[in-house]
Structure 1
């Protein structure tokens, strides 16, 4: 009888150990280390920190795509706002001189890798400036490289993106001028912008033929910024010493894109950097637009003030 009782206790102990082991393994499997998934750091924590980042499975993920001459570091504070609201974010890094078609293909690869983590939940892709061009291109059908998105539910938001081409690069797309200059125009354009010089002029194929949205895209929020009379940097006396004007509304408006029924287009009075936030500005306008369009959680009415305080604290730390 004693031996039977002892064996029973031993059996129960083993079952408990097995249960705890399985539970622990299951808990580990619910989280994915981004560094393990993307050893090349193409997708990482937003910010300059090398700190690791884990994503919880079966939860929505917001992917931020920076613009030209920017990096994940610029969006560290915005990512922390999402985190405060209980939402997961990562930043997509890329060579901003590379062909936009090439980079958009890399973004597709990244989104396809993230898809099993999000599961049935949506992925939100947020692209600023050149990042907006890349974000939309990644979500179009019939690509030359034959790459296809595997996730079933994606929402995108593009901010201050020059969908109608960049006027300052127009000469890079004039065929006769490129020929008449015996390649000098191509050489100069390549030196200044890299391979993407063929993608950004208003007359380029990339701009003229933007392509139709893939069926996986449920919505596309186009945030255009009226950047006239905006200022990025002020002197100690309050004088503007650097404006925040980069793209006109004409450069940001492409009717072929905005006629889709999945498009919502809004115009915000804000500078090019101001809209996403910088070391002197909290991007309240962008936060409001994203929340109104359900691309960022809206806090409960009773939590509005505490949310505002948290955002101010985040950006004070960022500054």
Structure 2
């Protein structure tokens, strides 16, 4: 029986309600804990038979990273080093580090592949890029089987409303305006959660140690267009003047990359491609 051990710190954006549908399954175990506590993490690997690590844990909100940069460095870099070190000592079979397209920095036209240089432009992306270096070093030095993934923006039901899609949906449902940074012309690639799950399962089965995989989509939308589509969906209006009443433009944040276009041929070579169309994914998301 394949067992799943779920370690979470239950930070401000976590909710045990999201685990209710699986909490009673025999092959699932939840443990509350912090990856930044070395003794606890070492004990965990000593007492639980862990074969594979999928490392999602991170501080991820870009806006907050400008205000709490040191906390992002502590959790994302130090915490990752603690975890990969303990996993190495426990001789884990595979360690998958979940990174982000933001490590590449922004681009207007160039598409990033896995060999493109990392040029992060905000504290969050910088911390993820630094953590990647620690993870990759365990492959270079010890041939510890690590794999790094970099994915586009993920959206779906139950997402905490600090990310742009659930935030806009929540604001509109409470009759408040969508708050857009700067011009709103910044574009993002959006992947539905179910597609990303399939990508991680593919990497688990077929991903090669020491490799980096872009998990991307060609679907791209500006933040202004995103707000417009969500207003149409939730407020059920196509009137341009009425839609303008639901948008509020504010000062841009210190650094706001225009695009993160990625090539994902390596993932395609493993047999994965995104399947859920935007209209279907956003409809499912807005229902929660």
Identify the TM-score tier after normalising by the shorter chain: 0.3 to 0.5
TM-score (structure 1 length as normaliser): 0.35
CA radius of gyration, larger in = 1
TM-score (structure 2 length as normaliser): 0.38
